[in-house]
C-alpha cells in the first residue's frame, strides 16, 4: 500500500508526530509562531479520545501537562520564546519529579516579545539552562518537516524512556515551512512507553533506584498510589534534606542522561562530507540548510568543507565535536543568535582548530554566502 503523503507545515508535522507517538493530552496557550501545533491537536486529539485544553496561561499549560502525565498520559505542550520563559520553573519541576512530557519551542527572536513572526535560534541555551538548579536536559532540533515529525516521536520516546521533560526546538522558518511528508506506517517508527512498576503496590517507591537510573513510574488512579513533590526527595518520594540522599538523587538525575550509555542512545547528528573535511560548518535547524548549500558551493570551488548538524542539541555531542576539532583546520558555527552554541563548541575544541562564527538576529535567515565568507576567514 502506498504511504500517506501530505504537504504539511512544520508545526502541523509536529502535531502529527505527537499523535503517531501516542500523545493523548495537550495543554497549551496560544503564542506565535507555535500556535498551529495547538490548533491541529485541538482538532485531532478528541478524534482519538485524547484531551486538549487551552489553559489560562503558559504556566498553567505546563502544569496541566505534568498533571496529565502523572495520571498516565503522554502529554505535550507547544510554545515559543516568552512562553518558554514562563514555563521554565515547571520544566524544572518535571526534571526533579521525573515526569515524562514533551515541550515544543518554535523559536522566534527575543528577548522578551522580540520579533514574534521572525525566526531565531536564541533559545538553545535556555533549553539547557533555563530552569534553575542543576539538571540534565534533552533537546532535539529538527531541520525539516519530515524530521520534525520523526523527532517529535523520538522526543516522546526519550521522555518516556528517561522519565523526564524533553524539548523539541525548531526555528520559525522550519515551523512555518511547508514540505512533503511521508507518514510512517504504524510500527515503522519505534514508539516507547514508560516502564510500569513490577512490584506490588505496597512495595512501590516512585524513585526506587534498585530498578536502575530510571525508576518505573506508576500512574495516578492505578492500583499504585504515591506522593510527588518538587522538593528534594528520597526514593519513597517524600521530602528529605539528608545530605547524602539529596546528593545521590541530584547526581542520578543527571547521570541517567549523561552517562556514556545514555549519550550514545540520545545523541543524534547528521554529517555531510565531513570525512575529509578541512573545515567544518556547525549548524542546526534551518541554518543547516544554508550550511549544506555552502558546503556544496565550497566543494565546487575546491574547498574541503563539511557539515556537522547536531539533531540532539543536548546533551551536547562532545566526543564527535572534539574529534572534528582535531581533524579540521577550522570550524564555523552558524546560528541565528549572537553566539550561543559557539561557546559550547569552543569549550570542546579548545584551541585544536580555528573557530569562526556567523550570527544573525535580524529576523532574516543566515544565507550561504555569509557562511562561505566566514569559512574562507578560518582557512
Q: At what angle do helices 368-378 and 287-300 cross, to 10 degrees?
A: 60
69 is a contact residue toward other proteins (CB under 8 A): yes
The residue range among 122-130, 166-174, 218-226, 252-260 that interacts with other proteins, by the rule CB under 8 A, is 218-226
The residue range among 62-70, 154-162, 247-255, 298-306 that interacts with other proteins, by the rule CB under 8 A, is 62-70
Please, are residues 266 and 158 in contact by the beta-carbon 8 Å criterion? yes
Residue written as grid cell 524530521: 147
Q: Judge residue 265's burial from the number of C-beta atoms within 10 Å of its C-beta, 0-12 exposed, 13-18 middle, 19 or more buried.
A: middle
Nearest distance from C-beta of residue 48 to other proteins, angstroms: 9
Of positions 113, 117, 229, 369, contacts other proteins by CB under 8 A: 229
Of positions 7, 57, 255, 377, contacts other proteins by CB under 8 A: 57
55 is a contact residue toward other proteins (CB under 8 A): yes
102 is a contact residue toward other proteins (CB under 8 A): no
Residue written as grid cell 487551552: 54
- The two most distant CA atoms of the chain are separated, in Å, by 69
Of positions 6, 22, 30, 51, contacts other proteins by CB under 8 A: 51
- Output the 3-class SS for 156-222: HHHHHHHCCEEEEEEEHHHHHCEEEEECCCCCCCCCCCCCCCCCCCCCCCCCCHHHCCCCCCCCCCC
**Nearest to other proteins of 61, 366 (CB atom):** 61
Nearest distance from C-beta of residue 149 to other proteins, angstroms: 22
Of positions 21, 23, 75, 136, contacts other proteins by CB under 8 A: 75
Cα dist. 208→196, 214, 218, 225 in Å? Answer: 12, 8, 12, 14
Cα dist. 194→247, 262, 362 in Å? Answer: 25, 16, 42
Nearest distance from C-beta of residue 44 to other proteins, angstroms: 8
Residue written as grid cell 504539511: 8
**Nearest to other proteins of 47, 260 (CB atom):** 47
Of positions 16, 35, 64, 374, contacts other proteins by CB under 8 A: 64
Please, are residues 167 and 205 in contact by the beta-carbon 8 Å criterion? no
234 is a contact residue toward other proteins (CB under 8 A): no
Cα dist. 92→79, 200, 241 in Å? Answer: 16, 30, 18
How many residues touch other proteins under the rule CB under 8 A: the total is 44
Of positions 22, 30, 67, 184, contacts other proteins by CB under 8 A: 67
Please, are residues 107 and 139 in contact by the beta-carbon 8 Å criterion? no
Nearest distance from C-beta of residue 328 to other proteins, angstroms: 45
**Nearest to other proteins of 67, 363 (CB atom):** 67
Question: Rounded distance, CA 176 to CA 171, Å?
Answer: 9
277 is a contact residue toward other proteins (CB under 8 A): no
Beta bridge partner(s), residue 165: 101
Of positions 178, 225, 251, 350, contacts other proteins by CB under 8 A: 225
Nearest distance from C-beta of residue 130 to other proteins, angstroms: 15
**Nearest to other proteins of 89, 370 (CB atom):** 89
Binding region for other proteins (CB under 8 A): 24-25, 27, 43, 46-47, 49, 51, 53, 55-57, 59-61, 63-73, 75, 89-90, 93, 220-231, 238-239
Amino acid at each position: 500500500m502506498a504511504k500517506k503523503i501530505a504537504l504539511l507545515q512544520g508545526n502541523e508535522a509536529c502535531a502529527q508526530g505527537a499523535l503517531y507517538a501516542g500523545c493523548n493530552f495537550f495543554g497549551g496557550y496560544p503564542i506565535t509562531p507555535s500556535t498551529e501545533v495547538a490548533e491541529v491537536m485541538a482538532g485531532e486529539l478528541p478524534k482519538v479520545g485524547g484531551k486538549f485544553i487551552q489553559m489560562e496561561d503558559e504556566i498553567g499549560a505546563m502544569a496541566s501537562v505534568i498533571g496529565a502525565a502523572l495520571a498516565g498520559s503522554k502529554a505535550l505542550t507547544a510554545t515559543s520564546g516568552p512562553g518558554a520563559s514562563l514555563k521554565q520553573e515547571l520544566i524544572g519541576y518535571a526534571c526533579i519529579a521525573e515526569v515524562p512530557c514533551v515541550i515544543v519551542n518554535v523559536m522566534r527572536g527575543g528577548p522578551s516579545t522580540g520579533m514574534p513572526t521572525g525566526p531565531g535560534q536564541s533559545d538553545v541555551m535556555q533549553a539547557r539552562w533555563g530552569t534553575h538548579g542543576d539538571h540534565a536536559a534533552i533537546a532535539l532540533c529538527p531541520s525539516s518537516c519530515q524530521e520534525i515529525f520523526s523527532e517529535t516521536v523520538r522526543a516522546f520516546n526519550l521522555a518516556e524512556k528517561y522519565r523526564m521533560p524533553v524539548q523539541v526546538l525548531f526555528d520559525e522558518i522550519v515551523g512555518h515551512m511547508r514540505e512533503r511528508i511521508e507518514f510512517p506506517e504504524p510500527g515503522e517508527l519505534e514508539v516507547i512507553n514508560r516502564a510500569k512498576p513490577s512490584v506490588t503496590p505496597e512495595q512501590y517507591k516512585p524513585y526506587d533506584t534498585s530498578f536502575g537510573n530510571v525508576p518505573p513510574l506508576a500512574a495516578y488512579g492505578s492500583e499504585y498510589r504515591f506522593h510527588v513533590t518538587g522538593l528534594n526527595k528520597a526514593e519513597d518520594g517524600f521530602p528529605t534534606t539528608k545530605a547524602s540522599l539529596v546528593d545521590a538523587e541530584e547526581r542520578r538525575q543527571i547521570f541517567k542522561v549523561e552517562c556514556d550509555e545514555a549519550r550514545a542512545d540520545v545523541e543524534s547528528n547528521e554529517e555531510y562530507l565531513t570525512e575529509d573535511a578541512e573545515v567544518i560548518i556547525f549548524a542546526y535547524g534551518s541554518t543547516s540548510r544554508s550550511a549544506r548549500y555552502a558546503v556544496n558551493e565550497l566543494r565546487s570551488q575546491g574547498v574541503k568543507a563539511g557539515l556537522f548538524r547536531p539533531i540532539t542539541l543536548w546533551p551536547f555531542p562532545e566526543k564527535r565535536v572534539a574529534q572534528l576539532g582535531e581533524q579540521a583546520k577550522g570550524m564555523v558555527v552558524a546560528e541565528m543568535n549572537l553566539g550561543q552554541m559557539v561557546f559550547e563548541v569552543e569549550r570542546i575544541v579548545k584551541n585544536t582548530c580555528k573557530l569562526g562564527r556567523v550570527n544573525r538576529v535580524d529576523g532574516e535567515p543566515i544565507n550561504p554566502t555569509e557562511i562561505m565568507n566566514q569559512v574562507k576567514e578560518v582557512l
